[in-house]
Structure 1
C-alpha cells in the first residue's frame, strides 16, 4: 500500500474518471479539527459558521465535489450508522443537504440492516472500480491521509461491498433517523 497525504488523497479523488464512492462506518469523528466548532454550533441550532467564517478546507471540498460532478463523475457515499444517531451523525445529517446540492449522492444505512457478509469496518474511497484508498486517522482522531491499493482482490471486495450496501441504503432526501426529530 502507498501512503497518501490529505492533499494526495484529494488529488486521487479529483482524478476520478467515472465514479468516486466513499464508505463511512464510524458513528463519531468529532475529533476532526475543522468540524468541532461547526458541530457545536449546529447542535445548538445555529448555522455551522459565523458569517464570512467558512473555512478554506470546506470551500476546497465543495470545489472538488462540484468539479467532479460537473465533469459527469458520479460521486456517492454510504453512511452506515447506529440509531439513534450520535451527536456527530446528527451534525452530518444536518449538513448533508449542502453536499447533495453540490451533486454528491449520499445514502444512509442503519447498522442493524447490514448483512455482515456485505460489510467492512474500514472507511474507504473506491475510485473508478480500480483503486481503494483506506482512510487513516491519527491518534488524536483527526484525518491524516489514506493508504492506497490497486490489489484486485481488495478492489473486487470493495466493489461488492459498495454494491450491496448501496442497494440497501436510503437516499438522504427521504432518510428519517429513528429516535430523532431533528
Structure 2
C-alpha cells in the first residue's frame, strides 16, 4: 500500500478527517524551499505544482460523492516558517473542497490527544502517521479498535469545536 491516505479517502463513504499537530514537516521539501525564497501562489490553484492537481482532483471527487473532508491543525504560536507556508497554501485545500481549521496549541492544552498526526475515515478506521524528529514520515499504521477510534473521534471533535476556520485564522508571527 504505497499511498494509504489516498486509499482511505477513496474508500470513505461519509467522512475523512485529518488532524495535524506538528510545527514542521518534510523540511527538505523543494516547494517549501521555494516559498522560503519568496515564491508565492497568490491564491491561484492553477499555478500550483503538478502533484497538487492529483490531490485537488481526489478531494473534489471525494466531496462530490458527499464525503465531508475536514482538516484541523494544532499549531504553536508564534508560528514556524513551515506553518506560515502551510497557511499560505491552504487556499488550495479549501478550493478543492476541504474544510480547514486552525487551533493554537495553547487552546488545546486540556484536550486528550493522540500522540501523532492521523487520518480517520468514516469514524471507523484511523491511519496514524509517525514522523522522525525533523518531520519526515517514517511509518504509518492502520488501527480499528473501538477504543482507539473513540479517542481519535473525541479528540478531533473537541479540536474542531475550538478551532478557527481558515478564512478567519490570522497566524501569530
Fold shared per TM-score above 0.5: yes
Distance 1:53 1:113 in 2: 32
Distance 2:48 2:104 in 1: 33
- Say whether 1:43 aligns with 2:36: yes
What is the SS of the residue equivalent to 1:68? helix
Task: Report if the CA contact (8 A) 2:116-2:130 is conserved.
Answer: no
Corresponding residue of 1:55:
50
TM-superposed CA distance for 1:139, in Å, is 7.7
Off by >6 Å, runs of 4+ in structure 1: none
What is the SS of the residue equivalent to 1:173? coil
TM-superposed CA distance for 1:155, in Å, is 0.3
Return 5+ residue gaps in structure 1 as ranges: none
TM-superposed CA distance for 1:138, in Å, is 5.8
TM-superposed CA distance for 1:10, in Å, is 1.3
Corresponding residue of 2:147:
153
Deviations 1:88-133 (A, max 9, x none): 1000000001110111001000000113343233101111000011
Corresponding residue of 2:24:
28
What is the SS of the residue equivalent to 2:142? strand
Task: Report if the CA contact (8 A) 1:23-1:124 is conserved.
Answer: yes
Point out the more displaced range, 148-157 or 117-126.
117-126
Task: Report if the CA contact (8 A) 1:27-1:82 is conserved.
Answer: yes
Distance 1:161 1:126 in 2: 11
Aligned residue-pair number = 169
Change (3 A) 1:154 1:87: same
Return 5+ residue gaps in structure 2 as ranges: none
Corresponding residue of 1:92:
86
Change (3 A) 1:10 1:144: farther
Please give the residue correspondences for 1:2-151 in structure 2 after superposition, counting only pairs within 5 Å: 5-31=1-27, 36-47=29-40, 54-56=49-51, 58-137=52-131, 141-143=135-137, 146-151=140-145
- Say whether 1:162 aligns with 2:156: yes
TM-superposed CA distance for 1:55, in Å, is 3.5
